[in-house]
Amino acid sequence: MASREICVFEDNQEINAYLKELLKKLSKQAIKERGLFSMALSGGVTPEKFYRSLADTSDFLPWDDIHLFMVDERYVKPGDNDHNFSMVQRTILSSIKLPKKNLHPIQTDLTSIQETATSYEKELKRFFYEDGHSKSPIFDFILLGIGQDGHTASLFPGSPALEEKEKLVAISRSEHARHERITLTLPIINLARTVVFLITGPEKKNIVQQIVQDKIGLFPASKVNPENGKLYFILDSGSCGDGSYCVPS
Ligand code: 6PG
């Protein structure tokens, strides 16, 4: 079981400050040990405020050595309002200029979703294996959200993508999601050194409590267990609810 920490903050401002310090510490350490810092970011509404606050940190993080990947993508064209990487471009990359080689979006402008998934899988393998950064696809940092149905990344309850054991990338569909999705799979998520669930708002308090207490992996999000890494639940007071379960384990 991953070492797990549940951190509860008053508001987004406190969350952003904490996450930025965490990123600073982790990136400094990774760059010292391995020469770069690899992070995969999620879409959705929750992380937008954090991404905007990252944009104020041009000197705070060693951006030249940070490689940015996406956890998942909606199969829509770049520029679409629902396109996750476009949101990252608007919030972070409009202020922080990362070298092009450090950007690893999921290419949704290819001819089919299969091609998109295959090309992202290839890109991950090229980055982690061929460039000699690692012998395994181990991300330094993955930022995840949680949906009210317990999904995380684009791994929805009941989705065959949840059963993927070999591939790093899967295609995913849900009757509750407007678009088909491309997502990192559990095997690569669970290899990461640090995984952070960022969850805010009282509408998430019931699902957060169930996931924190779920020992049998009933929900996709409770299957996230980076065995050699650290798992953080970063909550605001709304998503934490009465907090009775918020004790470190
Ligand atoms: C996405 C995600 C997804 C998200 C959750 C929470 O692209 O939508 O990566 O897993 O993190 O659905 O979304 P909200 O932050 O919008 O509640």
The CA angle 240-197-165, to the nearest 5 degrees, is 135
Cα dihedral sign, 239-244-245-248: positive
Helices (H), the chain: 12-34, 48-54, 84-88, 113-125, 186-189, 205-213, 237-240
Asked if pLDDT for residue 123 goes beyond 60, the answer is: yes
What six digits make up the tokens of 198? 């960022």
Rg (CA), the chain: 17
Stretch 201-218: mean pLDDT: 94
What six digits make up the tokens of 146? 């949680």
Bridge pairing between strands 194-199 and 3-9: unpaired
Q: 2 CA to middle of ligand 1, Å?
A: 22
Q: Which residue owns the Cα nearest ligand 1 atom 8?
A: 44
Asked if pLDDT for residue 131 goes beyond 80, the answer is: no
Decide if 30 contacts 140 (C-beta within 8 A): yes
Among 46, 49, 148, 172, the mutation site with the greatest number of ligand 1 atoms within 8 A of its Cβ is 46
Segment (H or E) for 84: helix 84-88
Helices (H), 92-219: 113-125, 186-189, 205-213
pLDDT digits (tens, 9 = 90+) for 72-112: 999 999 999 999 999 999 999 999 989 999 999 999 999 99
DSSP codes joined into one string, 32-60: HHHS-EEEEE--SSTTHHHHHHHTT-TTT
Q: What percent of the chain has pLDDT over 90?
A: 87
- Contacts with 153 (C-beta within 8 Å, 6 or more apart), sequence order: 42, 71, 72, 144, 183, 184, 189, 220
Overall size of the chain counted in residues: 249
pTM of the model: 0.96
Q: 35 CA to middle of ligand 1, Å?
A: 30
Among 84, 86, 146, the mutation site with the greatest number of ligand 1 atoms within 8 A of its Cβ is 146
Q: 49 CA to middle of ligand 1, Å?
A: 13
Which protein residues touch ligand 1 with a CB less than 6 Å away? 42-46, 71-72, 84, 145-147, 151-153
Decide if 229 contacts 141 (C-beta within 8 A): no
Neighbours of 81 (CB within 10 A): 8
Decide if 68 contacts 107 (C-beta within 8 A): no
Q: How confident is residue 247, by pLDDT bands cut at 50, 70 and 90?
A: low
